Amino acid sequence: MTTAVAIAVVMLVLTVTNVWVHLGPSGVHLVTGPLAALLLLLVGRAAALTWPELGLGSQTLLRGAQVAVAAAAAVVIVYAIGVAIPFTRGAFRDTRYRLGLGAALYLSLVAIPLGTVLFEEVAFRSVLWGLLARDLGVATATAVSACLFGLWHVLPALDLARTHTSVRGPAAAGRRRVAITVLATIVFTTIAGVVFAELRRRSGSLVAPFGLHWATNGLGVLAAARVWAISPGGVATPGASAPVGVVTQPAWQRIVKRLWSKGS
């Protein structure tokens, strides 16, 4: 399989998966992510990418794990501070994560890593990045994969505008606020895509960006559930709990967007 054909297949799988995750039945999303990730890995191998080029080489596994643990520890510190400070605590008030401990743990430790992070890392930082880096260079691979990663989050941004109290305010989000939320989401997730790609490049392993990606999303759910538990004020949106496999919005992005919205 040529690189061009492989990239076209990756883009097709990304498009179908993004629509399916947000519009299809939520009960199958936990299976969709791993199956789609496996399909993309087969595409990468058919395009003659080696396991190291996919970020899955055994030689870099330990280094990737070390970076992942350090990144997750940094996220824990940031989120702990964010939950402790009243001003930033509001950034965690996403009604999708107004959950009990058991549901929050399941979402954080099972649904998010399998239904969201695994697929996104394989798609953007393993197969797509590997194909582009081999033929067009690392800089192009990072830029293109990061921009596509930003655009991938348009539908989650619409969900955020509907369910997050610090974004939508006391009433339903207006068009201007939704537009700001979508634009901010694209910008910040593109930047996140650059960071994830750089971790993958420097460590040589997909484990490194996987760790940081899971920490920002999965630990964000636990932080949000904790905030709702200690300060349950506010009205939840009916039926707004996060379906399994839906791309979640990391709390650090919500903090920055909240500051942006305050200033606009």
Whole-angstrom Cα distance, residue 186 to residue 208? 22
Strand locations in 38-111 (E): none
Res. 27: pLDDT tops 60: yes
Q: What is the pLDDT of residues 81-109, one digit of tens each?
A: 988 888 888 778 777 778 888 888 998 99
Angle at 169 between CA 241 and CA 224, to 5 degrees: 40
Q: Which residues contact 99 (CB under 8 A, 6 or more apart)?
A: 107, 221, 225, 228, 241
Q: Evaluate the CA torsion angle 114, 19, 39, 152 in order and state its sign.
A: negative
Alpha-carbon distances, residue 225 vs 98, 228, 263 (angstroms): 5, 5, 27
> What's the domain count of the chain?
1
Q: What is the pLDDT of residue 24?
A: 72
Residue 160 exposed, middle or buried by CB count within 10 Å (0-12, 13-18, 19+): buried
Structure-token pair, residue 102: 């058991």
3-class secondary-structure state, position 244: coil
Domain span at residue 191? 3-263
Res. 214: pLDDT tops 50: yes
Structure-token pair, residue 35: 């199956």
Structure-token pair, residue 198: 């750089």
Angle at 144 between CA 250 and CA 147, to 5 degrees: 35
3-class secondary-structure state, position 50: coil
Res. 42: pLDDT tops 80: yes
Helix (H) or strand (E) holding 205: none
Phi/psi at 199 (nearest 5 deg)? -60, -40
**Per-residue buried b or exposed e for 171-205, using 16+ beta carbons within 10 Å of the residue's own CB:** eebeeebbebbbebbbebbbebbbbbbbbbbebbb
Whole-angstrom Cα distance, residue 182 to residue 159? 10
Q: What is the pLDDT of residues 148-200, one digit of tens each?
A: 999 888 877 776 655 554 444 544 456 777 787 788 888 999 999 999 999 99
Res. 128: pLDDT tops 50: yes
Q: What is the pLDDT of residue 246?
A: 43
Whole-angstrom Cα distance, residue 220 to residue 113? 13
For residues 258 and 174, the answer to whether their CB atoms sit within 8 Å is no
